[in-house]
Amino acid sequence: MSVTLIIIIITCIVSIPSLQKDDVKEKFLFWPYRINKNNEYYRFFSGALVHADSMHLLFNMVTLYSFGTAIETFLFPIFFHHQSVMLYILMYVLAIIASCIPDYFKYRDVYSYRALGASGAVSAVIFSAILLEPSMPLRFFFIPIDIPGWVFGFVFLGLSAYLSKRGGDNIGHNAHFWGGVFGLIFTYVASRLFTDVNLIQRFIEQVR
């Protein structure tokens, strides 16, 4: 069984029973105040295992399946060979934590702030794929035309940064932004450690 399917199954096993049980969801979600005051560090990771509702879960898992499968079966093996599975798992797990850290420091003294969902880690997977294959056709759900992956990436990061600053829509745009940035950084660093490929130079050449 693929790593992507294992991640999806584990996430669904935890998320689905909690959808209608707020008390269960509350035990897992990312809650900076509780992490800071009660040392509940597990919440950095467990928040990615619960979701607000079925559509939130479905969107994240379908997106993860699409991009995660491409990373796992095609893109990472081309570049990283036998290290590809290890690096994929490491990227996903670290992205969960990395995408939460900015909001932890921002909201660690705010009791009311809570967040949940795997969006930060999923963003890391998406942007890792974009860095490795910048010309791949992607689309925003509200724009029914394909655009190059690198254009999608710049627009997505810019939009996430703007919406995060604006706030008020109950969506973790900050996690989307930093998850995507982490995916880019992790993939680039891995390429420098395990390959002779300069991904930045390769990216520039492909988008010219």
Rounded to an integer, the average pLDDT of 7-15 is 95
43 confidence band (pLDDT: 50, 70, 90) = very high
Task: Please say whether the beta carbons of 30 and 43 come within 8 A.
Answer: yes
- Inform me whether the pLDDT recorded for 131 exceeds 70: yes
What would the pLDDT profile of 100-115 be if each residue is shown by its tens digit?
999 999 999 999 888 8
Amino acid at 206: Q
What is the distance between the alpha carbons of residues 93 and 71, in angstroms, rounded to a whole number?
15
CATH number for the domain running over 3-207: 1.20.1540.10
Rounded to an integer, the average pLDDT of 133-156 is 77
Please report the pLDDT score of residue 170 as a whole number: 53
What would the pLDDT profile of 180-205 be if each residue is shown by its tens digit?
999 999 999 999 999 998 888 888 88
The pTM assigned to this predicted structure is 0.91
124 confidence band (pLDDT: 50, 70, 90) = very high
- Inform me whether the pLDDT recorded for 164 exceeds 80: no
- Inform me whether the pLDDT recorded for 169 exceeds 60: no
Please report the pLDDT score of residue 142 as a whole number: 58
Please report, rounded to a whole number, the percentage of residues in the chain having pLDDT higher than 70. Answer: 94
Please tell me the chain's helix, strand, coil percentages from 3-state DSSP, rounded to the nearest 5.
75, 5, 25
Rounded to an integer, the average pLDDT of 36-61 is 92
What is the distance between the alpha carbons of residues 67 and 74, in angstroms, rounded to a whole number?
10
Mean pLDDT of the chain: 89
Give which of 82, 129, 96, 86 is closest to 10, Cα–Cα.
96
